[in-house]
Structure 1
């Protein structure tokens, strides 16, 4: 059984290349596979490996990057979901092309999965899916607005053309693991939207913590590895008993 960990953290990483080199040196000859991006704005990755190797890897990120273990999203796979190990130095850990730089360290308000259903059931909340169209086609939250995004960097233009801070005063947004909607929420606050919320830990944390009978999620959740998609039973072991 492979442990799969999805994680990110926005913070000022002063020397991404040095951390990249250290990670490669320590884990190149282990069973760790997947991709981790490193940039001046932080780290972002989805990795898989044995439980022992994953523990060593995450402990190093806690020490070197201040990663909060409570924010890591775990899932499990009987087959290796990744073929190679890659540590990449990037300009951004999540691309967001705008004229004015977005400060991801000043995002909207986090909403825990336990409070998400109540928030999105409010009639004055605009619920936004910030993922790409090939992701939204296989699953989303009931009632969500799904901008026709070919790539995440199209989000800012869509907001400028379709939303108005004076009319859309309360916005809630979500994505797979939380990183896209966190950066998008920071952008919307900078654009003058008064109340902006985003799902802490994204869809993966919601599926992990929310019982299937209480879930507002419809369909599957697209993920970026060879499993293609996951659902409640992949993230909540008790839901898969007898299947």
Structure 2
């Protein structure tokens, strides 16, 4: 598997997002990288692929900016580059929720690491003995490719539908420990902050999302694969492309070049 794929995001104020776009576009082109980089006032979200040296050199250069010094990309490998081109865009949000009061850079919700979540799922209880439920914050077609056993799935069609879905179901979560999860961590981070804001006291985000869970555990308590927004379509718990994963049946407006959510 000669090509390294990385996904990463960070919520951090970027008032110079437009200037960064030009710098990162030139740097990625010089390294012959493919993928997507999204920039916004609230942070950065990217998914890149190329040779290991080129990818790691790109990340190393990015870390020279103190705002990105602690980036910790999730890694997987592929036989071919799963992106068709390199896109660098400035957006209003790096993941659209249409809830401007949610500002993760001003304070994150508590997180649970994958190894701890696996242990909790063994018994269905957290370390305080409270019932644990997992909440899938992804779109319905992504959930259909795979999810945690017994995960709550509100069948949302896009992330902007998450706030009203939460308000409709909030009472069902009140006395439980809720672990929100998504592909790479970005959606479940915003979701966890919103749930805290809405008065749910025992909420965690899965640190690094499903991809980090696959990387750090044996994938126990997860069924199926993880949909990713590139030509691999679905990754198995070994982080390899699932040969059974099909792009057929996914919404036609899903771009091949998009970032892990």
TM-score, normalised with respect to structure 1: 0.90
Contact 2:145/2:227 (<8 A) preserved:
yes
Q: CA deviation at 1:234?
A: 2.7
CA deviation profile, 1:134-176 (whole Å, cap 9, x unmatched): 0101110011111111001110010011113883452111100
Q: CA deviation at 1:78?
A: 0.4
Q: CA deviation at 1:62?
A: 1.2
SS in structure 2 of the partner of residue 164 of structure 1? helix
Q: Tell me the equivalent position of 1:230.
A: 235
Structure 2 CA distance for aligned equivalents of residues 155 and 12 of structure 1: 24
Q: 1:199 to 1:5 in 2, by over 3 A?
A: same
Contact 1:10/1:43 (<8 A) preserved:
yes
Give the number of aligned pairs.
231
**Structure 2 residue 113 is the aligned partner of structure 1 residue 117:** no
Structure 2 CA distance for aligned equivalents of residues 168 and 179 of structure 1: 25
* Segments ≥4 residues shifted beyond 6 Å: none
Q: CA deviation at 1:211?
A: 2.1
Q: Tell me the equivalent position of 1:241.
A: none
Q: Tell me the equivalent position of 1:220.
A: 225
**Structure 2 residue 80 is the aligned partner of structure 1 residue 79:** yes
SS in structure 2 of the partner of residue 163 of structure 1? helix
Q: CA deviation at 1:14?
A: 1.9
Residue segments in structure 2 that go unaligned for 5+ positions in a row = 241-261
**Structure 2 residue 146 is the aligned partner of structure 1 residue 139:** yes
Residue segments in structure 1 that go unaligned for 5+ positions in a row = 236-243
Q: 1:166 to 1:37 in 2, by over 3 A?
A: closer
Structure 1 CA distance for aligned equivalents of residues 174 and 207 of structure 2: 25
CA deviation profile, 1:216-241 (whole Å, cap 9, x unmatched): 11111101100001012236xxxxxx
Q: CA deviation at 1:79?
A: 1.1
TM-score, normalised with respect to structure 2: 0.84
Corresponding residue to 1:174 among 172, 181, 191: 181
Contact 2:25/2:88 (<8 A) preserved:
yes
SS in structure 1 of the partner of residue 97 of structure 2? coil
The alignment's C-alpha RMSD in Å is 1.7
SS in structure 2 of the partner of residue 234 of structure 1? coil
**Structure 2 residue 29 is the aligned partner of structure 1 residue 28:** yes
Q: 1:67 to 1:219 in 2, by over 3 A?
A: farther
